Structures are given as structure tokens and as C-alpha cells.
């Protein structure tokens, strides 16, 4: 969708007696951002504006009742409940947001609207630059419910920065492992239901480092765990607000499937790095489980055409 100024929020009156300030705030932000930057804002930047605005207005005893949750890149809106937005995923590495449909009618003299406009101007002025999104994420993470989120983010960011570079020879032992150990020390006790999976991940991450795994392999391991954890994170009572029970139920239904996929991922890595006689019992257990399941599936594939080779490569972890 081509960026263009929306420019339709002139002195109008409400469509109903109860204004939808979430919709109005979204419109004002998108209109202002596009007018100033001649481009659509990223999904990350829009999310950070809305969640920071929500927190700011709450301090003034104004509750937008914004549906939002903590997820992979911080606090974000629940898109499903905001149908007036268009999320453009044409570039898989970069999502942008724009308005779709009719513009909302609103009273520009409404005190809440005036506060939204003031916050919009400050946010765009501060966070429109090249580093704006990361700065906004930093600000949002100041309100993270668990210290673990911030400590683990340090690990993720360190690996992200170095994965395409040639790090110093002692980078893993002097930087990565201390960041990892410190983060896992803060893993919240509230998530005791995944304690066994967390312990298995910890074993695999350490094993990858011990076996001289690359920075990219460590980054992938860290990201895979984070994505898995966030399926649980967003369901915690401290980590969502104004999300309907029906949506929470849908999120909950994905947990078993995502857990099975992630455990399979851990077993795959255990098998790749396993060394008989020098690996822990947990690594040996995961490695043996991977081999057993893979051998059984290979037996099922025997006799089938060669066009199932892609499936075989996936099973053996060659797809990444």
C-alpha cells in the first residue's frame, strides 16, 4: 500500500455518543506519521506508540481499554480486534501499518483527543529516526512484568548484532554465556509448568556453546526458545489486558502443538551435538528420542518416491 497522508480528521462530530478512542488514536498517529515521514510506520513503531500512549493516559486516569499483550517484540496490540488497520507483510522482514476503510468522525476539542494529539507529536518527533524503533522498544521494556524479559533481551540483542560479523575468539565464553546464565537465573517461577522444557533448553544452549556452535546457531537457539516462551508469556495474567476470553482460549489451544514442535527442535539439536560419554543424561535422552522417532518415520517413508527427500532433509535438520 502506497504511503499517503490520510488528512481527513477535521472538525467533525462523533458517530456515536461513546467515542472509540483506540480507533481515533490509531487514525491520528497514522495520519500524522505519514504526513511527516512520507512513509507508512512499521508494525513495531505503531505497537509501541499505542502501548506507550495507553500507559501514559492511564496515569491521567484515562483508560482506553486497549487490547494488548506482551509477546515477541514487547507489548503489542491484539490485531484481531482492530479491523480498521491494514498490516502489510509484502516484505517478510518488515511489516508496515496503514489505515483501511472510512476515517473515524471525532471531536477535535475532546480533551482525550487533544492528549492523543500531543502524545502523537512527541512520539513521532522522538522515534522517527533510524534508531527510533529500538529506542521505543527500550522505553516499552521499562514496563515489562518480569525482569527475565529484559535480561533475556540483552542476550538476544547481543547475538543479533554479532551473528553476521566475525566475533572475537572468546566472545562466546566472555559475553554470550554470562548473559545467558544471568538471564536464566531470572526465569520466572510463575512458569513452572514448562520447567522441564526450560531445563532441556538450558542444556542444549550450553552444549551448542561447548561444541563450538556458531553465533548464528546460538542466535537461532535463543530465538527458538524465546518464541516458544512467548506463547506462554502472553497468556499470563500480568501480560495481557482487555483480551476477550475467546481470544485467550484460541491462544491456549496452540500451546500443545507449539510445545511438541519445540521439543522436537530441542531433540534435533541434541542429536546434532551429542557426543557419547561426554554429554549430560538430559542431552542423551533427547538425542535418543530424536533418533528413535526419526528411524520410525524413515521406515514409513521407505518405498515411497524420491520426491519425499525434502521431508527427509527437514527431519534431519537441514532446512535452516
Q: Is residue 276 part of a domain?
A: yes
294 and 162 in a single domain? The answer is: yes
Q: What is the mean pLDDT of the chain?
A: 88
Angle at 299 (CA atoms; ends 295, 300), nearest 5 degrees: 120
The residue among 117, 141, 165 that closes a domain is: 141
Whether residues 129 and 204 share a domain: the answer is no
Q: Residue 128 pLDDT more than 50?
A: yes
CA angle at 52 for the pair 50 and 225, rounded to the nearest 5°: 85
Same domain as 64, residue 137: yes
* Helix/strand/coil for 241: strand
The tens digit of pLDDT for each residue in 68-117 reads 999 999 999 999 889 999 999 877 678 999 999 889 999 999 999 999 99
Query: Residue 205 burial by CB count (10 A; 0-12/13-18/19+): exposed, middle or buried?
Result: buried
Confirm whether 123 is domain-assigned.
yes
Domain that holds residue 298: 147-315
Higher pLDDT, 49 or 294: 49
Q: Taking 60 as the threshold, does the pLDDT of residue 240 lie above it?
A: yes
What's the grid cell of residue 175?
A: 559475553
For residues 155 and 294, membership in a common domain is answered with: yes
88 and 198 both lie in a single domain: no
Answer yes or no: is 250 within a domain: yes
Supply the DSSP string of 121-166, one letter for each residue: HHHHHHH-STTHHHHHHHHHHTT-SSHHHHHHHHHHHHHHHHTTS-
pLDDT of 1 above 90: no
Q: How many structural domains is the chain composed of?
A: 2
Structure-block grid coordinates of residue 40: 507508512
Q: Which of 85, 119, 141 is the last residue of a domain?
A: 141
Percent of the chain with pLDDT over 90: 70
- 289 with 157, same domain: the answer is yes
Sheet holding 74-77, edge to edge: 74-77, 68-71, 240-241
For position 266, what pLDDT does the model report? 93
Query: Are 123 and 199 members of one domain?
Result: no
Give the Cα separation of 148 and 239 in Å (integer): 13
Give the confidence band of 2 by pLDDT, cuts at 50, 70, 90.
very low
Q: Are residues 108 and 166 in the same domain?
A: no
Region 43-58: mean pLDDT is: 97
Q: Which of 20-34, 125-139, 266-280 is most confident?
A: 20-34
Residues 132, 173 within the same domain = no
Q: Which pLDDT score, from 0 to 100, does residue 17 have? A: 65
Q: What is the pLDDT of residues 4-27, one digit of tens each?
A: 555 544 444 444 567 899 999 999
| Banded pLDDT at 312 (limits 50, 70, 90) | low
Q: Give a yes or no: residue 1 inside a domain.
A: no
Identify which has the larger pLDDT, 167 or 107.
107
Residue 238 lies in a domain: yes
Based on the domain organization, do 151 and 293 belong to the same domain?
Answer: yes
The pLDDT of residue 218 is above 70: yes
Q: Are residues 255 and 157 in the same domain?
A: yes
**Residue 14 located in a structural domain:** no
Residues 132 and 246 grouped into a single domain? no
From 122, 141, 160, the end of a domain falls on 141
With respect to residue 298, please indicate whether it lies within any of the assigned structural domains: yes
Please indicate, yes or no, if residue 11 is contained in any of the structural domains.
Answer: no
Amino acid at each position: 500500500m502506497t504511503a499517503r497522508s490520510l488528512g481527513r480528521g477535521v472538525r467533525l462530530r462523533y458517530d456515536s455518543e461513546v467515542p472509540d478512542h483506540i480507533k481515533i488514536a490509531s487514525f491520528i498517529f497514522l495520519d500524522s506519521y505519514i504526513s511527516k515521514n512520507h512513509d507508512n510506520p512499521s508494525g513495531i513503531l505503531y505497537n509501541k506508540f499505542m502501548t506507550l500512549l495507553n500507559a501514559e493516559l492511564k496515569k491521567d486516569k484515562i483508560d482506553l481499554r486497549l487490547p494488548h499483550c506482551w509477546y515477541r517484540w514487547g507489548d503489542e496490540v491484539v490485531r484481531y480486534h482492530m479491523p480498521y488497520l491494514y498490516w502489510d507483510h509484502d516484505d517478510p522482514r518488515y511489516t508496515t501499518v496503514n489505515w483501511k476503510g472510512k476515517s473515524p468522525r471525532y471531536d477535535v476539542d475532546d480533551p482525550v483527543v487533544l492528549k492523543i494529539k500531543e502524545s502523537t507529536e512527541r512520539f513521532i518527533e522522538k522515534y522517527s529516526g533510524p534508531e527510533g524503533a529500538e529506542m521505543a522498544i527500550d522505553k516499552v521494556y521499562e514496563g515489562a512484568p518480569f525482569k527475565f524479559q529484559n535480561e533475556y533481551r540483552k542476550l538476544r540483542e547481543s547475538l543479533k548484532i554479532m551473528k553476521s560479523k566475525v566475533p572475537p575468539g572468546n566472545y562466546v565464553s566472555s559475553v554470550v554465556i554470562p548473559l545467558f546464565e544471568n538471564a536464566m537465573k531470572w526465569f520466572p517461577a510463575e512458569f513452572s509448568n514448562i520447567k522441564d522444557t526450560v531445563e532441556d533448553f538450558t542444556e542444549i544452549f550450553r552444549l551448542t556453546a561447548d561444541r563450538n556452535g556458531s553465533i548464528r546457531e546460538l542466535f537461532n537457539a535463543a530465538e527458538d526458545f524465546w518464541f516458544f516462551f512467548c506463547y506462554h508469556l502472553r497468556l499470563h495474567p500480568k501480560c495481557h489486558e482487555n483480551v476477550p476470553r475467546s481470544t485467550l482460549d484460541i491462544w491456549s489451544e496452540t500451546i500443545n502443538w507449539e510445545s511438541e514442535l519445540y521439543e522436537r527442535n530441542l531433540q534435533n539439536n541434541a542429536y546434532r551435538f551429542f557426543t557419547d560419554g561426554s554429554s549430560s543424561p538430559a542431552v542423551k535422552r533427547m538425542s535418543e528420542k530424536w533418533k528413535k522417532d526419526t528411524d520410525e518415520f524413515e521406515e514409513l517413508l521407505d518405498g515411497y518416491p524420491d520426491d519425499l527427500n525434502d521431508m527427509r532433509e527437514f527431519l534431519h535438520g537441514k532446512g535452516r
